Amino acid sequence: MNSNSNSKVLILTAKYGNGHVQVAKTLENKCKELGFKKVTICNLYSESFPIFSEITQYLYLKSFSIGKQFYRLFYYGVDKIYNKRMMNLYFKMGHKRLHQIVQNEQPDIIINTFPMIVVPEYRRKTGTVIPTFNVLTDFCLHKIWVHENIDKYYVATNHVKNKLTEIGVHPNSIKVTGIPIRAQFEEKRNQKEIYEKYQLDPNKKTLLIMAGAHGVLKNVKELCQTFITNRKDIQTVVVCGKNTLLKESLEPLAQMYPENFKVYSYVERVDELYQITSCMITKPGGITLTEATALGVPVILFKPVPGQEKENALFFEQNRAAIVVNQIEDMADEVDKLLSDQEKLEEMKKNIKKLHVPHSADLILEDIIKESSFIKEKHMMAGSVNY
């Protein structure tokens, strides 16, 4: 019988951007594959405080446009109030709902893909020990992830590990595993078939623009027109996600220039496009960047939002794996310059691949299984806690 067949896993997440939820789903799939008895994903804050959650998610989305100053204040300012009374509200949020879930589900393991202070606080206040693990979803560290009652941290790089040790987390409580991404991003596909599927020319360079629902960059149409007019050796693919207005505005271009320009809403197997892309314009979310590291896609990052996206962008720029463009007027020139420089493209491809840790979900769950047994034994020997 599978040794995990009697264990239940609770994965806690939150919908601020798509990354935290996507990591939760990747881990859920891996848990099921490993034969855990039950795996539950819970958006704790949304279930506990639906109105508050909706407002803060709205403000998060607005951080891409009008809310930049608000988000900068929250992200960088929260360190200053971290140990003060104002944080007590954040500690208490979700406590009641968490207690209900723990009573109902009786989880053996808790995994956080969003910084849930309420979870380690629950242990401190109730004495109930459930092995608890944080899976960090960015290439930078925010102190809100850190708490004495987190048993282990799974991080993207040694850079994040060093940041954790600098603030006092024991190195044995940190493992560099990369960020879990969908398995399809670690599969090699036949490139000839991909070019045929998307009706693209293997003899041209491919620029992929991940425009997304939050508008990665303004003036996408003008930018695409520039490439179509000036560079016959480049084909541009735009993925609009849920941004239907953007897709509608670009469709006339796709009809006029079918040889050089394609536009899509949602692409189920976007990993296929990554495999044939010369470079990609995107926003520096932790998941998108991890997917780019897996397939070695040079990235151009436009005007990162203050907070984790800006910190991610700086990290990739410092590792010469990305170019950051802050002015929309500079975008066409920067793309043109990069696509004309094969040597630089190859160097960026090599540098971004160096940041990848393969099979992250496997590494994390193998370690969690081992650690959770050890944690339970340790606390049972201490004899001072509940389960």
Q: Which domains does the chain have, with CATH numbers?
A: 8-178+358-382 (3.40.50.2000), 188-354 (3.40.50.2000)
| pTM of this structure | 0.86
Separation between Cα atoms, residue 134 and residue 284, nearest integer Å: 21
- The pLDDT of residue 157 is 97
How would you class 57 by CB atoms within 10 Å of its CB: exposed for 0-12, middle for 13-18, buried for 19 or more?
A: middle
Top-confidence residue, 75 or 96: 96
Q: What are the pLDDT digits (tens) for 175-220?
A: 999 999 999 998 888 999 999 999 999 999 999 999 865 555 667 8
Minimum mean pLDDT among 103-107, 299-303, 382-386: which range? Answer: 382-386
Q: What are phi and psi of 41, to 5 degrees?
A: -105, 135
Who contacts 213 (Cβ-Cβ below 8 Å, separation ≥6)? 241, 242, 243
Collect all residues with Cβ–Cβ distance below 8 Å to 303 and sequence separation of at least 6.
Answer: 217, 325, 326, 327, 328
Q: How many secondary structure helices (H) and strands (E) does the chain include? A: 17, 12
Task: Please give the C-alpha separations between residue 107 and each of 32, 91, 92, 130, 132, in angstroms, as whole numbers.
Answer: 15, 21, 20, 7, 10
User: What pLDDT does residue 119 have?
Assistant: 82
Share of the chain above pLDDT 90, in %: 53
Residue 236 has pLDDT above 60, yes or no: yes
**Mean of pLDDT over the chain:** 84
Query: Shortest CA distance to 27 belongs to which of 42, 48, 17?
Result: 42
Q: Could you say which DSSP state residue 183 is in?
A: G
pLDDT of residue 47: 41
Q: What is the pLDDT of residues 41-93, one digit of tens each?
A: 988 765 444 444 444 444 444 444 444 554 455 555 555 544 545 455 555 66
Query: Helices 220-230 & 244-256, crossing angle to 10 degrees?
Result: 20
